[in-house]
Structure 1
Amino acid sequence: MSDDPSRPRATLAAVGVGLLGFLGGAVGVSLVSELVTATVGPVGALYEQWVFVTGFGVGATATVGLSLWASDRGLAFVDLGWPTRRDLATIGVGLVAIFGLYGVVTAVRSVLGLEASVSRVQMALEATPDPVAVVGLAALSVLVVGPVEELLFRNIVQKRLREAFSAPRAIGLASLFFAGLHVGQYGAGSALATAVSLATVFALAVILGAIYESSEALIVPAAVHGLFNAIQILGAWVLLA
């Protein structure tokens, strides 16, 4: 698609839907958290991540569904479908690319002496190194985090931006938005450490955006995103053990 004169409106619409989805996810987290507290009581830090992931997934998905219904776009706007052989190959290439980029970014940070902020998931792993909780969170990363975040940030935000912008600009804007909304995940460190972490998230999001652009299938970036997170969680647990 070529650039369109209605860019400001397209940008506001995409960001608006993204923020609604994010806020819907926050409401979902609050509701699920209260339900768990009322029925089970306090849980460990890593199980709190289960609650967060589940609540955000339910809330964000429900909000996206409502926004699609209200805009008359419907489920047809969601790029669902069974993965083809090409999709499976793209998932494999995407995993190599995203881990390769992460390795390069980590090496550059090391050379420059830049420390990244510790994520809340890492903190939870250190506080609750329970094998069941770890494996469960890794599974939720594949089944919930990857699909829901890619639905919201790539299939909705990036796709809406793509209606008015070229592919590189749409990917860049969606990735910037995606990174900005991860402040809560990496905001525990210093301002510089948080900025370094968010820059890393932005770079990885660009890979996911490019994968979605090339495949036009939600399952491809969702699988790459979910597997990347799951492998990181399991790897961090192994190192801690």
Structure 2
Amino acid sequence: METPERHRDDGPIRSTLVAIGLAAFGILASQFTVLPAVLLDPAVVRTPMEASITSRALLLTLNFVGFALAGGLYLAATDRGWSYVDLRLPTKRGWGYILAGVLGSFVFYVLISVLVQLLSLPSAENSVSGFIGDDQTMVLVMIAIVFLFNAPAEEFLFRNIVQKRLYDAFSRLQAVVIASAIFALIHILSYAVSQSLLATVVPVVVVFGGSIIFGLLYAKTDNLFVPIAAHAAFNAIQFGILYIALEYEIETAEPSTSLLVDLLAVVPL
């Protein structure tokens, strides 16, 4: 069992390598947890839109289960246990941070979307969009996945495990930046299908900025519930906007109206 003194004596290089290893382990674990969905319906990987909604939902859900599994195995292997998880109902101050996080995320992403449009920057779509397409039912399913699996799993691994692990060798602000950089870099896999390097870099940079916001929420409150709630609410609202866009064909409307829809091209899960 690792002692608190050993934690404090961790050097920055070792802590960073452990953090990167945890992120890589999360990706590796997700490759195994999605196997049942792939075996049940191979089309979900080759041609996702030809697969059933159930198959698509199962694959995405099991992907996030892999992240949670990686974090749980790390807690078990290091004898930290579940007491290491900072999960509790927020105070009134915590709810304020959640609201600030959601509003701050929207301000950030709207500004980024405007900048991307003004500079005519290319931006690759997240691979998750290939599982949604124009399927409104799948959009609603994604809202449930965001609340139950996506936000809890990602915040658990990258905030309560990776970011908190970095506290052993860095200041909280430094840990937020490093954890966010790692989180952004693993999303390269989600955009690697793009033929343009710039189109891949743009959304990855956007991911980094968004992760900074959620990381700060955790650093300020030491409560995992806060970034989970802010992350889930923000993504759910995005999918709500996409649902409305599909329902009323907003993308074919005036450019100013479709601006919010454009956010979905650069915002990951």
TM-score scaled by length of structure 1: 0.89
Q: Are 1:70 and 2:57 counterparts?
A: no
In structure 1, the partner of 2:258 is none
Partner Cα distance (1:78, 1:84) in 2: 17
Check the 8 A contact 2:61/2:149 in 1, yes or no: yes
1:155 alignment partner, one of 150, 153, 160: 160
In structure 1, the partner of 2:177 is 172
Matched length: 234
Partner Cα distance (1:207, 1:45) in 2: 35
1:14-25 matches, cutoff 5 A: 14-25=19-30
Partner Cα distance (1:167, 1:214) in 2: 9
Q: CA deviation at 1:145?
A: 0.4
1:219 alignment partner, one of 203, 213, 225: 225
Q: CA deviation at 1:240?
A: 2.4
Partner Cα distance (1:114, 1:150) in 2: 29
Partner Cα distance (1:164, 1:86) in 2: 28
Residue deviations 1:40-60 (CA, integer Å, cap 9, x gap)? xx8637655422321122222
In structure 1, the partner of 2:59 is 52
The 3-state SS of whatever aligns with 2:223 is: coil
Q: Are 1:31 and 2:31 counterparts?
A: no
What one-letter code is carried by the residue in structure 2 that aligns with 1:31?
Answer: P
CA RMSD of aligned residues (A): 2.2
**Structure with higher RCO (Cα < 8 A, 6+ apart):** 1
Decide which structure has the larger Cα Rg and report it. 2
In structure 2, the partner of 1:6 is 11
Check the 8 A contact 2:140/2:243 in 1, yes or no: no
In structure 2, the partner of 1:234 is 240
Taking a change above 3 Å as real, the CA distance of residues 176 and 160 of structure 1, as seen in their structure-2 partners, is same
What one-letter code is carried by the residue in structure 1 that aligns with 2:29?
Answer: G
Taking a change above 3 Å as real, the CA distance of residues 21 and 123 of structure 1, as seen in their structure-2 partners, is closer
